[in-house]
Structure formats: C-alpha cells, structure tokens
Amino acid sequence: MIKALLSATALLSIIPTCQLSAQDYRAQALRILRTVPLIDGHNDIPGAIRDRGGLDSVDLAVSQPKLMTDIARLRSGRVGGQFWAAYVPVTTMDSGPHPAVYALEQIDLIRRLCAKDSRSMVMAYTAADLQRNFTAGKVSCLIGIEGGHAIENSLGALRMFYDLGTRYITLTHWRSLDWAVASTDTAHRGLSDFGKHVVLEMNRLGMLVDLSHVNDQTMSDALHTSRAPVIFSHSSARALTNHARDVPDSILKLVAVNRGVVMVNFNPGFVSEAVRVYGDSVTARLDALRAAGVDSATRADSLKAWNARAPHATLQQVADHIEHIRQVAGVDCVGLGSDFDGIDEVPVGLEDVSKFPDLIAELLRRGWSELDVKKVAGLNTLRVLRAAERIAVQMRRTQR
Ligand SMILES: [Zn+2]
C-alpha cells in the first residue's frame, strides 16, 4: 500500500508543469495571495471620485461598473495594500486652488474613503501596519502624492504631508519643476541642489521617493542621492516599450544597486510598443487635421474610427515587462503599479482590480517559484518600506 502511494506521489511529481490548467495556476495564485499581501503602487480612484463630484457621488461599497475599482473587486483581486494617488494636476501651478491645498483635499478624500468602508479598509503608515491589517483581513490604504509641485518648494509642507500620512511623493508629474525635471522635458538637467535636499528630507522622514514621471537625469540624480531604496510607483520597462515614462535598462541597473522597486504600470501605451506607435500616429494625424482646419465633429469621427482599429495590449505583455525588470534589476526589484482608474484603456486580461490573481497565475505558468511571485506581489514593496523606516530612524538620530 505504502509502495503504491509512493509511486503515485512520484508519478505526480514528474507530471510536467505544462499539464497544469489555467484554473490550477489561478488556484495556486489565490492560495499564495492568502499568505502575502498584494500591494499595488498606484491607483487613481481618488481623482476619479473628485471628478465625479466627491464621495457623496461615488460609493465604492456598491458596484461601480464604469470604474476599475470598487470594494468587491478589490476583494476578489486579493488586494492587500493600495497606494491611493493624491494626484495634483500641474494646472494648479497656474490657476485654481494652490497645489498644496489640492493635495490636502485629496489626502482628506483618501482618508474619508478609507474610513467610510472601515469593515473592508483601514489606513496604513508603516510596513508593520500593512502586515497587521492583512492578517486582520483588511485592505491597507496608503497615500502617495502624485506631483512634487504639491510641496510648493517648502520642506515644512513636505514634513506636514508626511505627518498627514503621505508615504511617497512622485517628484514631478508631466511638467518640470525648478528642482526636478519631468519625463516629457528635453532639458539636460536633473535634480537641483534643492531637489537633492527634498530627496534627503524624504529619506529622513521615511517617505519613499517616487521616480515615475521624471526624466532619466532626475532618476539618476535621485538614485545617487537617496540613502533609502526608491520606488517607481507606476512605470514599465523602456527596452520593451520605448516610452519616456518607462525605465531604461541603465537606470534599472542603478535600481538594483539601490535595492528599490519598479512597480509595473498596466497602461497599454507603456506596455505595448504597437499600442504606443499607433497612439503616436493617431496624435500626428489629429494634429494634421487640426492644422488643415478640419472641424471638431469631423475630427472626433476620425478619432473614433482610428480607435476602433487600434491594437490592444495584453496581460502577457505586462508579464513580459515584469520578467524584463527581473532579468536586468533582479527579482527583488520588481512590483506592481497598475495605474487603474488613471488610464483610459486596459490590457486584455487586466481590466480592473479583480484581475491581479490572473497576472500572478501567468508568472506561475511561466515557471516562477512561489517565493519569487510573492516578492513581486508584495514582499519587495514591504522590504522597501521597512528599509525606508529603518534609514529614517538612523538619520533622525543625527539630524533634527
Ligand atoms: Zn501618473
């Protein structure tokens, strides 16, 4: 009997993994995500809620089919920790509420969003909070400010944003500041001396430095300045998709030395070269129509027709970016940063926050070990948070 059992076990162990079904990999992914919190680096639902009239207009406790995020789908997506973006438009630098006020309002919105569904969500300020909330079966809410213009060149404001719970700041958005340069800018400069002060003050506070949206020189300067691991909260690999928002291999090699984490963005134009090229061609054709004086209704019809023929990105391409970053920077330096509800299009297979387990299943199908997929899902981000907290304690001992 024992012999028969042994031979059955031996037989099972030699069944090639390719015979496992998609459902088997999904079941394995779900089992893994019961043991480690999946942490997403960037979700823009706070901005989407603001655009729709605020928390009185949008209730995530009920299904939100027009959005990519609600409580039920966060649950089925096994999200354990979510950095909610306090996105501050660059236009606030010109008119309307001051950038700092806009950021305060979005932080307020995130905290109220989290308190509103306290049975499902709870704020987290440290890696230990995140781990504890996960054990309690709740989604951790973390705050990341998107746009360094929010501090209005004030280290005092930066410190107060930390006290309000902000755990990362994306140094720029689409427009350069006098102390940091955006990815779309052709200027050959990076961080100014003040920019380096900002990075070091973030280190001293224990706030993560987010390099998504900055140009390559600013990435490099920040990586050479920061004493703590940095993050890219929502960027993919430029070797696969030639977009300025993605991270080139030369920088990935610096991230490996810094022990930071690049959290892969799902934006189709950042993960599929065909989508990016097609998008650029559509923009050029629209510009040409505008220059020729074609009216806006005709332009809108043309855009609709072109969009209908557009190529699509896929979940597999997102997995390709994860594998590329693993290959260049190492498996300890890659994570997830969906950008859900901040992107207009989604990859096939990654339509909303409920789909994260399918991406984990794809990595398992490709032969990834359970430990390595746990790192991508959340362990790498937890390690970076812990390192930032530890370095802050050390720096505060000597600098006040
Ligand atoms: Zn962004």
| Domain coordinates in residue numbering, the chain | 24-272+313-398, 273-311
Options 216, 221, 234, 332, the catalytic residue: 234
Q: Is 42 considered catalytic here?
A: yes
Tens digits of residue pLDDT in 242-282: 999 999 999 999 999 999 999 999 999 999 999 999 999 99
pLDDT tens by residue, 75-126? 999 999 999 999 999 999 999 999 999 999 999 999 999 999 999 999 999 9
**Check: CATH 3.20.20.140 for 24-272+313-398?**
yes
Do residues 121 and 143 make contact, with C-beta atoms less than 8 angstroms apart?
A: no
Cα 56 to the center of its chain, rounded Å = 26
27 CA to centre of ligand 1 in angstroms: 32
Q: What are the two backbone dihedrals, phi and then psi, of residue 95, each rounded to the nearest 5 degrees?
A: -160, 170
Quote the ligand 1 centre to 47 CA distance (angstroms): 11
pTM of the model: 0.93
**Is 173 among the residues known to form the active site?**
yes
Distance 358 CA to ligand 1 centre (A): 23
pLDDT tens digits in sequence order for the chain, 400 residues long: 444 444 544 444 454 555 789 899 999 999 999 999 999 999 999 999 999 999 999 999 999 999 999 999 999 999 999 999 999 999 999 999 999 999 999 999 999 999 999 999 999 999 999 999 999 999 999 999 999 999 999 999 999 999 999 999 999 999 999 999 999 999 889 999 999 999 999 999 999 999 999 999 999 999 999 999 999 999 999 999 999 999 999 999 999 999 999 999 999 999 999 999 999 999 999 999 999 999 999 999 999 999 999 999 999 999 999 999 999 999 999 999 999 999 999 999 999 999 999 999 999 999 999 999 999 999 999 999 999 999 999 999 987 6
179, with CB counted inside 10 A (0-12, 13-18, 19+), is buried
Which three-class secondary structure state does DSSP give residue 378?
helix
Exactly one of 44, 210, 216, 358 is catalytic; name it: 44
Confirm whether 213 is a catalytic residue. Answer: yes
Q: Are 207 and 162 in contact (CB under 8 A)?
A: yes
- Which residues does 180 contact at the CB level (< 8 Å), separation at least 6? 148, 171, 172, 190, 191, 192, 195, 198, 214, 218
